[in-house]
Amino acid sequence: MKKLTKEEQRKRRRVRSRARMSGTAQCPRLSVHRTLTGMSAQLINDADSKTVVSVNSKKDIDAKADVGERKGKVAVSYLLGKKIAEKAKEANVSKIVFDRSGYAYQGRVQALADGAREGGLQF
């Protein structure tokens, strides 16, 4: 049997978790994508196959905001979570389903979730 790479393992986890969750207009799915240099997140209404709100760490982040003890990429992820929560409020969204896309819930993914919760999103 062929040994799976880490990316293939993550994709399998992603497919398994996506089979059990789905976003609606009232409760969209917060999908996270992580790369080595940045992060992006989007709120997706799966019923209509539409992206409600999206943010990207390269374009939408002001690095001068207060992040507490966080440093580096984790701080950027935290700010990304706060930014998507702010945009979601403008789009009248308060409840979401968190889709970590097969990534472990630690580090940058956890910081994004913490920022979104602090910004007012419920999941």
Q: Is the pLDDT of residue 5 over 90?
A: yes
Name every residue whose Cβ is closer than 8 Å to that of residue 71 and which is 6 or more positions away in sequence: none
- The answer to whether residue 96 is domain-embedded is yes
Domain that holds residue 51: 25-118
- Say how many domains are in the chain: 1
Note the pTM of the prediction, 2 decimals.
Answer: 0.91
Name every residue whose Cβ is closer than 8 Å to that of residue 86 and which is 6 or more positions away in sequence: 119
* Among 108, 101, 104, 43, CA closest to 71: 108
pLDDT confidence tier of residue 61, bands split at 50, 70 and 90: confident
- The answer to whether residue 82 is domain-embedded is yes
- The answer to whether residue 37 is domain-embedded is yes
- CATH code at 68? 3.30.420.100
- The answer to whether residue 123 is domain-embedded is no
- The answer to whether residue 35 is domain-embedded is yes
The Cα 108–Cα 23 span in angstroms is 22
- pLDDT at site 2: 87
Q: Is the pLDDT of residue 101 over 80?
A: yes
- The answer to whether residue 13 is domain-embedded is no
- The answer to whether residue 86 is domain-embedded is yes
- The per-residue pLDDT of the chain, averaged, comes to 92
- The answer to whether residue 19 is domain-embedded is no
- Residues 4-17 have a mean pLDDT of 93
- pLDDT at site 122: 95
Q: What is the DSSP letter of 31?
A: E
- pLDDT at site 1: 79
